[in-house]
Amino acid sequence: MIEELGIYFLLYDRAGYGESDPNRRQSVKSEALDIQELADQLEIGSKFYVIGVSMGSYPIWSCLKYIPHRLAGAALIVPVVNYNWPSLPNKLIREDYRRNLVQWTRRFAKYAPGLLHWWVTQKWIPSTSVLEKNPAFFNTHDIEVLKKIPGFPMLSQEKIQQRDVFDTLRRDFIVAFGDWEFDPMELSNPFPQNESSVHIWQGYEDKVVPFQLQRCISKKLPWIQYHEVPEGGHLIVHYTGLCEAVLRSLLLGEEPLALDQIHP
């Protein structure tokens, strides 16, 4: 399909990751401006598609806000949800344990980074190999996926002990879950003439980002096409058929395959 459609993928290291320099003034807006500058420097054209997965999805919201004129379409796969968005109904998030976990982690990351670094690098903290088998984070399909992929190298104790790696993750977390300059749930359709499409893909059994939040967002923003994988967890991007379904719906406007057929 990639050869048939002539798809060109561009993956880049965001600020602080890989070989990209850290940006101490990193913000939600700077994410979109980085993408725009990269597109201009590489001369990939006036319009392009953007795809973000999990934590890498908040730059997609930034693109929809700040550079919609450059987008041919966008896909957000299991996108993280910032509990600080003003339009999120309090009754929906009041009892969500993830909300308190995110809020406390962000406070420590912002005001006591040394203490947080000490906490996550203690040997008695479970390693990622233990976390990856923890049903509190992943459903059974996700755990099957984790048997086949490298996992999350940056979250290993060896990596996170490196201060530059820790600082990158900490800064990214603060931006993603901090106070934004806009509320995504108040965005108007950037493509009123249906000249482009925006999609959210979510797993019904996602234990990192609850499907209820994504349903709320899609209801508030009806111009976003919402797709829910019945037995999908947070790692649906690795499931058989998911990537092809994402690309066909994004690029060709095709209806996805039966979502219950997408599996590890």
> Out of 3.40.50.11260, 3.40.30.10, 3.40.1160.10, 3.40.50.1820, which CATH number does the structure's domain 2-88+179-261 have?
3.40.50.1820
pLDDT at 58: 97
Parse the chain into domains and list their residue ranges: 2-88+179-261, 92-176
In terms of Cα–Cα distance, which of 182, 206, 215, 210 is closest to 62?
182
pLDDT at 41: 97
pLDDT at 97: 83
pLDDT at 192: 79
Q: Does the model's pTM come out above 0.85?
A: yes
For each successive 10 residues of the chain (264 residues), what is the average pLDDT? 90 92 93 97 95 96 96 96 94 86 84 78 54 70 85 70 85 93 94 83 94 95 94 92 92 77 68
**Between vectors from CA 27 to CA 22 and to CA 196, what angle results, nearest 5°?**
115
pLDDT at 156: 67
pLDDT at 12: 94
pLDDT at 130: 43
pLDDT at 263: 65
Q: Are 213 and 81 in contact (CB under 8 A)?
A: yes
